[in-house]
Amino acid sequence: MNLKDEAATARLGAALARDLRAGEAVCLSGPLGAGKSTLVRALIRALTTPAEDVPSPTFTLVQFYEGPGLKIAHFDLYRLTSSGEAYEIGLDEALDDGAAVIEWPERLQGRLPADRLDIEIALDGAGRTARLTPHGAWEGRKVEP
């Protein structure tokens, strides 16, 4: 999927918010500056309010949000040293109570949630590309930005 600009990335985030259900995760990978934060902000704002403050949880590791229909947790695993740390900071509970967006999911070392949509964002000239790979409950769902 081509993401020609920041607005296209934000549209994908909003589309994901429409499809995301309790117990599911969106796992984002890609280099620094690829647009992961833009996508997450749009997704969370679509689930909460357009003015929601959505800081990067790089140092806090996780931020929690409550929308009218779904609780959402935003995990940034960049600084983790083991996969168990993500579960120590509440990944299981976040999925029990709502949904999760996980940046740097490779830090989970194969302990990924079963019901997830993996999104790999890559730089492509002035734009980006996104490769979506569904797993579990996401299989068969078509995401249309």
pTM of the model: 0.91
The fold of 2-138 is Rossmann fold (3.40.50)
- pLDDT bucket at 32, cuts 50 / 70 / 90: confident
With vertex at residue 24, the alpha carbon angle to CA 19 and CA 29, rounded to the nearest 5 degrees, is 90
Cα–Cα distances (Å) from 69 to 51, 81, 122, 142, in that order, read 17, 33, 31, 21
Cα–Cα distances (Å) from 143 to 66, 83, 102, 133, in that order, read 23, 28, 18, 11
pLDDT digits (tens, 9 = 90+) for 60-110: 789 999 988 899 999 998 888 887 888 788 888 999 999 999 999 998 888
Instruction: Calculate what percentage of the chain has a pLDDT beyond 70.
Output: 98
Cα–Cα distances (Å) from 95 to 78, 87, 111, in that order, read 20, 11, 14
Rounded Cα distance, 66 and 1, in Å: 29
What is the rounded average pLDDT of the residues 45-68?
A: 85
**Which residue shows structure tokens 């409950």?**
137
pLDDT of residue 59: 67
